[in-house]
A = this chain, B = another copy of it.
Amino acid sequence: MNSFFEQHATFIADNPKFIEDFQGIMHYEQHPKNTILHEAGKVCDYMYLIISGIARVFYFIEDKDVSCHFAAEQETFTAIDSFIQRKKSKYFVEALEDLEVFKIAHSDLENLFTSTPKYERFGRLFLQQLYIDLVERLDNLQLKTAQERYEILLEKKPYLIQRITSKHIASYLGVTPETLSRIKK
């Protein structure tokens, strides 16, 4: 239940024009591996839906690189703080693999929401799902051990562990690369 279309299958089924309406504001793009798609300190005007590849959202805290979100095929990403609040972001976004994406401009999305109330509703449902996912991650950090957090990720999103370097997985789990290496033994 990770993919965008799975998570919102009911809404999409109830609104046959969904695909058509969104195609009007989605733009296909390719970005080679290691491209920086967004830089901290700038306002992020786009949300992305991945066709192929993996993206990483991260930020720096006292020179330490901390990953906070990964997205693979059929998942979405953006510099969420900035996209929501329309202010400078703390996040960077980079392509960990060659990326094919659809991107949607914030302004186009706003216009769609304003002109078509049922899509305003969709925006709310989409955010609800993000919220639920985040609550689950928070619960894990609050009271699971590093080992348990690794096992949960391994079970829920094995493709991330296979395709992303250990040091990024480590910071995402809130541990050092050394600790993660020992956990995997």
Contact = CB atoms under 8 A, between A and B. Distances in A.
Contacts of A85: 128, 132
B138 A134 contact: yes
Given A124-B123, A128-B127, A174 B135 contact: no
Contact of A138 (B64, B117, B128, B137): B137
Contact of A142 (B68, B113, B124, B139): B68
Contact of A121 (B80, B120, B139): B120
A6 to B, nearest CB: 15
Nearest to A85: B132
Contacts of A132: 81, 84-85
Contact of A66 (B121, B127, B135, B142): B142
Contacts of A128: 84-85, 127
Interface string A115-141: 001001101100110111011011101
A153 B94 CA distance: 32
A142 B120 CA distance: 32
Contact of A143 (B81, B121, B174): B174
A61 interface: yes
A70 to B, nearest CB: 14
Interface in A123-167: 123-124, 127-128, 130-132, 134-135, 137-139, 141-143
A11 to B, nearest CB: 13
Interface in A4-62: 61
Contact of A131 (B68, B117, B134, B142): B134
Interface of A: 61, 64, 66, 68, 80-81, 84-85, 113, 117, 120-121, 123-124, 127-128, 130-132, 134-135, 137-139, 141-143, 174
